[in-house]
Amino acid sequence: MVNRVDRTGLRAVPAEMLAAGDVLALPGGDAAAAVTAVDVENDDFGVPALVVATVDEDRRITIATGSMVYVEPADAEIGVSAVAADHGSPEALVAQVAQAHPDSTDIQGVAGRLARGINLKAGSNLQDLHQLALALFVDEGDAAAALSIADLLAELPFDGNFGRWKWIEGGLAIAAYLTRHDEERSLRYSAAIRAADDAETDPLRAKTSAMYRQRQLNEPNVYDPEILRASTSGRIDVERDWRVLRIGVLLYLRAHGGSETLSRDVLERRIAAELAAVAALNAQLADR
């Protein structure tokens, strides 16, 4: 039996990530049940409002969008390779996300590498998780899945290794943006991203680092020349890649609360504009 208190072995996921085959912990302490179908119902303004999960015996479970539910993910397949993932593990989450995006070669490629096993101390694995979260957010518009993957990074502490930290930092920046409508939660991610800023204990070095960091925030490299060259030469794929890098920089700046030259509101408008630009470039690439 699974009830509201005993959630051992289950994983909390956004309701929007429910998929057929998941084993869902039911309300009221009822036994868990396999999900056979998932639908999303909009409100009168056309905004997704309810996730409706159909379980055994055609029972309908309604869940408000944005809510968290508890599931025991079924073993998944990525591409043609079966993944024997432990329930509730990072590998299981990646497998579930990949199942939801079977047509994305980028997501399938990253998920295939991670399916071999995720070592959260390995820089290459952290890089893959960051790439996966960014692809889900930028290319697929799957905010719920992107946040779940970013959270795998966001839970990791700063251990003094800046090579690993840059990917964790990127995950925190994505999470801070995706939770911007939940100010308290978003601020927690923003606070965590400053862990490396406060790591220096020598007063003089700390002051020098702070001055250098502020200069970087005020004069960020947002790849203007590279994007202009790619656009002028008609290299759509190259322009797209540079714009994705620009989005990463803007997300980082926003998570820091902006700078002396770029306010958070301005950054959010620029992020929205870049997301639209990448979507347009992706559409052009798809038409080729």
Q: Do 20 and 111 reside in the same domain of the chain? A: no
Average pLDDT of span 207-226: 76
Number of other CB atoms surrounding residue 113 within 10 Å: 16
Q: Do 101 and 26 reside in the same domain of the chain? A: no
199 — pLDDT class (breaks 50, 70, 90): low
Q: Do 235 and 253 reside in the same domain of the chain? A: yes
Q: Which residue range forms the structural domain that includes residue 265? A: 203-286
Q: Do 243 and 271 reside in the same domain of the chain? A: yes
Q: Do 176 and 209 reside in the same domain of the chain? A: no
Q: Whole-model pTM?
A: 0.68
Q: Do 86 and 188 reside in the same domain of the chain? A: yes
Place of tokens 């079966």: 82
Q: Do 103 and 186 reside in the same domain of the chain? A: yes
Q: Do 68 and 89 reside in the same domain of the chain? A: no
Taking each helix axis from N to C end, the angle separating 236-255 and 162-178, rounded to the nearest 10 degrees, works out to 80
Q: Do 173 and 213 reside in the same domain of the chain? A: no
| Structural domain count of the chain | 3
Q: What is the per-residue pLDDT across 94-149, written as a single tens digit (0 to 9) for each?
A: 988 888 888 899 999 999 899 888 999 999 999 999 999 999 999 998 888 999 99
